[in-house]
Chain A
Amino acid sequence: MRGAAMTTTVEPMATRRLVQRGALDWLLAPAPARRLNLVRTLTVLYGLVWIGVRADHWRNLSRLPESRWRQVGIGGWLAGPPSTAAVTALVLATFGAGVVALGGRGWTVCGPLFAVGFLALTTFGASWGQILHTEHLPALHLLVLAAAPAGRGASATTGWPLRVMTLVTIGTYVVAGLAKFRFGGGLDWLDGDRLSRLVAHDNLRKRLLGDPFAPLARFVVGHPLLLRVGVWLTVLVELGAPLVVLGRRWRAAWIGSAWVFHITVLLTMAVLFPYPLFGIAFASMLPVERLRRQRSRASTRRP
């Protein structure tokens, strides 16, 4: 009897220890430094392009009446919105830090400066009544990379930032999946009716304001079954994101599904998520360094 009692108490502990060790092994497994360097380059490059694209928008926001300012996230201590000059200075300083970081110099200084500047700019943008969800993941990824070492060889120090980036990516999809149940009517979300109304409402609003709307929107709102299937697939993709830790095949299947999901969102709602669509959101999960090697092999083969 005593033996049986001991078995029941020891087994869960041993299992927990195994799981913890497995998780730690996964987190700290070495990765090639080239992978981390390439992921850093891609993420910083994306951040630079994003700043270039959004700079005018942020400057326009800074000219709006102060009554429209609703501070979110960091910077709650600010009494009011920063001036246009301050926003312009922040854009230029962040962009400059990013360019230097992209060149591979002074990462320990420029990396954190760029990450914090990107976070500050996107937080400022989100403080005027609209939150762009597509900005969250690159902002978080840049913060993880800012804490990562430059890395010279394959080691645990080059592995953990990539794994943490992957965990952050998984987290954003799971949170998005849970939010649909939390704010989309619980399990009623699964019947597809709410998604149908959401797609119709979002596209009609764009149309009424003279904005381009999604090319497939008119088609899908007339096909409830299609939307019901779409809801289930969306739930599978978003809540299934943790599957990427199970291995190469699961990872490849999930990344492919997530990419198709974003393409579908673009075609049915005209909502663009460039970070995952260009694949940069998934770069930390992939052996991206092989792309560079294949490219260099291909260029040496050319006469």
Chain B
Amino acid sequence: MSGFLRAVGVRPDGLETVLSPELIGGTVEVIHAAQTLSNALRAGRAEEMCDEIAGRVVGAGLDVVEVLVVTDSFDIVEGLRADHPAQVDREEHVACAVPP
């Protein structure tokens, strides 16, 4: 079991959508995106980070109304092998609305 800190977008119908590393961290680098979230959480800047991501979501024109910063836990081996990896557990750190 392993936890993944990530940001996900919530669509108007309540379904979640993956946010790209570019939307999360501001660059195309996956590790940079993950490290950015981790640093922000550790520094107590999770809300600021969430708003920053929401701003980029607006700029990208995605149909997303809310951003969640969460730690999703997966059985990593099963998760990697599954066609649709499903988390075993979730801890929500912060949620912020995407400005219209």
Q: Which residues of A contact B (CB under 8 A)?
A: 57, 60-61, 63-65, 67-68, 70, 128-130, 196-197, 200-201, 203-211, 213, 217-218, 221-222
23 contacts between A and B (CB under 8 A): A57-B27, A57-B28, A61-B26, A61-B27, A67-B45, A129-B36, A130-B29, A130-B35, A200-B2, A200-B76, A200-B80, A201-B76, A203-B80, A204-B2, A204-B74, A204-B79, A208-B72, A208-B85, A209-B34, A210-B18, A210-B20, A211-B21, A213-B80
B34 in contact with A205 (CB, 8 Å): yes
What chain B residues lie within 8 Å of A130 (beta carbons)? 29, 31-32, 35
What chain B residues lie within 8 Å of A207 (beta carbons)? 80, 85
Interface flag for B52 (CB, 8 Å): yes
What's the least CB distance linking A207 to chain B, in Å?
7
What chain B residues lie within 8 Å of A210 (beta carbons)? 18, 20-21
Count chain B CB atoms within 10 A of each CB in A57, A208, A209, A217 and give the residue with the most: A209
Count chain B CB atoms within 10 A of each CB in A128, A196, A222 and give the residue with the most: A128
Count chain B residues whose beta carbon lies closer than 8 angstroms to a beta carbon of A: 33
Given A67-B48, A129-B39, A211-B21, 17 other A-B residues pairs in contact with their CB atoms under 8 A:
A60-B26, A64-B27, A128-B36, A130-B32, A200-B79, A201-B2, A206-B30, A207-B80, A208-B6, A208-B18, A208-B72, A208-B85, A209-B24, A209-B33, A217-B80, A218-B81, A222-B77
Q: Which residues of B contact A (CB under 8 A)?
A: 2, 4, 6, 18-21, 24-36, 39, 43, 45, 48, 52, 72, 74, 76-77, 79-81, 85
Question: CA–CA, A205 to B3, complex, Å?
Answer: 10
Question: CA–CA, A201 to B75, complex, Å?
Answer: 9
Question: CA–CA, A129 to B33, complex, Å?
Answer: 9
The residue from B18, B74, B81 contacting A209, defined by CB atoms under 8 A apart: B18
Question: CA–CA, A221 to B2, complex, Å?
Answer: 15
Q: Which 7 A-B pairs have the closest CB atoms?
A: A200-B76, A130-B32, A129-B35, A210-B18, A204-B80, A211-B30, A64-B26
Secondary structure type dominating chain A contacts: helix
What chain B residues lie within 8 Å of A60 (beta carbons)? 26-27
Count chain A CB atoms within 10 A of each CB in B2, B35, B76 and give the residue with the most: B76
B18 in contact with A129 (CB, 8 Å): no
Question: CA–CA, A217 to B52, complex, Å?
Answer: 33
Count chain B CB atoms within 10 A of each CB in A201, A203, A205 and give the residue with the most: A205
What chain A residues lie within 8 Å of B28 (beta carbons)? 57
Which residue of the partner chain B has the closest CB to A270? B30
